[in-house]
Each structure stands twice: as structure tokens, then as C-alpha cells.
Structure 1
């Protein structure tokens, strides 16, 4: 794998890196399936009759590549959901209760000011409700400040899952034919190699 000149390769997105890479050529001993343009999965319809017809049939090959791509895409979707999930959503009901209690305390204060009730008792009730609302709000603030979102390392998880899948395929199908799937260390391609 060669890096092509132009731009800083370290700060490029995965798709930009793939676009700038020079991939190795496929041979009879090593067939390369490149990552697709968006960097999530692998290129379909890469079956080469001349190189692969004696090794494996087209449908088995395509199914293996399609499943590896499906694994990558599902993990990417899971990461997207994880990144857009609101970690403070569980605490929203407490904030709603706190707002309701503050409004209730103001009602008691209005009754205290304009009513003919026991003023000292109403003052204690209103202040108690306000203190409880403030305590709930402080609890929510403390919990949300202490939250640290846990994001998956997408490339690492994809690498592990695709490797696990391809190892399973190797033991079930490909090793009996004298070949095995391997994963390139950065998941820029997968390759079917002769054992």
C-alpha cells in the first residue's frame, strides 16, 4: 500500500484516505477486495472469473463480501445512533418535576401574599417546595456533569467483527479449497490468499 502525495494523510477522513491510496494488484495467489468509496464496507461485484473461477464460485464469493460489508455498515449505523443519543434524556423528567414544583411554590407564595390563610405555614410550605426543586435541579446538574459519553472505536470494532466473520468463513468454506481471507491492518481492503 502506497500513500499518494497531496494533503496531510493523517488528518484525512477514511473515505479521503481510501481515495488517495494505491492498492496492490490482485494475482492468482492474492485477490484484493478494496474498501468502497465511503469507507464503510467493501466493493461489490469484484469477482474476477480469470482469477477466481477455479477457486470459488461467484455466489459464495459475493455472499462473503456482502456479509463483511453488512457487518461494517451495521456497526457504522450503531456508532451514528450512539453519537446522536442524548445521555441526559433520563434526567429530563426530574427537571420537569422541578419546574412544576417551582410553579407550585409560586402559587403558594401568591396565596401567602394575597390570601387570608396562615401566612407562616404557607411560607414554610413554599420554601420547602423551592428547596426540594433546587435539590432536584442540583442532582440533575451533578449527574450530567459527571457523565462521560462512551463512544465505540469504530475501526477497531469493525476490524474485530470482520476478522471474526472471515475466520469463520475460512474454517467453513475456504480452507478446504486451499485459500483463506485476511484483513488488511487498517481495513482498507480484504484479501483472499493462497495458503
Structure 2
């Protein structure tokens, strides 16, 4: 009986994370990895994302021209000692990203619990910033990464190693009605 209870608890705990509720009801979601969930909504001018990553350290999320790390328009965010950092970067090589001179992503909220980091952020669909990639209807090449350790600072990032990937997603479907900011 004890084995059944412990086994059930472990299964329920795993399902709970996989189905951890976002901070609001989003019309769109996509699992980028087994421990990285993306939620989003958009209107005519802006898009809002919420990332749930089952790890502590930085969360990286971005848009790529070709599905590779570069050229890319990325955010890197993390919670360290109750302070939240979220910065806008761009990539030009398989190297640490460069912080943009224009910070076009806006942090809306964040939280970190015993095993996960949640970041909610938004930006204009087209920032008119040469370091950013506009988001249009159709397939978007999304890139993601995370670490299990916080960086020393937003300019001293830690390498994500194999904790990375890309996925083609229709962030904005043609002919759909925008659904909020």
C-alpha cells in the first residue's frame, strides 16, 4: 500500500508540473521541451509570452531568422536573490549574445519557486529596431535555452550547454482575431 501511495504521489507531482497553470488563460501554448512550456497571446501591435521552465538559472527565449542560434533576437531572464533580470539581446555567432542598446522587451511578472522559473514579458510585433526580428503571421523560428545556475550578471552569462533547442511555431496564424496584449 505504501508503494502505491508513494508511486501515485510521484506521478501526480510530475503531471502537476507538466500542467502547471499559467498566470492567466492564454489561447496558445507549446511545449518546447519536457521542462520548458511557452504560453502566448497577441493583439494588432504586441505579443505577450510566458515561459515556465523547470529549472533555476537563466531562461532564454527568442526568434531566429532560420531556426539556428544566429541571427537571433533573444531575451534572457532570471531571478537572483529576489531580484529579477530580463534583458534584450541579439546573436551574431555561436557565442554569448550581445545586449541590445534598445531594450524592447518588457517584463510583466516573474516568480521562482523550489524548482521552477516563470517569466512573463511582451514586446511590439515590429519594434523597428535593427537588432530585433519582426514577428509576422505564419511560421516563426523560436529558439530557447536555459541554465541551472544564475549568471553573475546580465553581462556575464553562463553557457547553456545542451539545454537548448529550436521549434517552428505559428505564433500568429493568418486570418485569426487578435486576443489581447
Whichever structure has more strand as a proportion of its residues is 2
TM-score using structure 2 length: 0.28
TM-score using structure 1 length: 0.26
Larger radius of gyration: 1
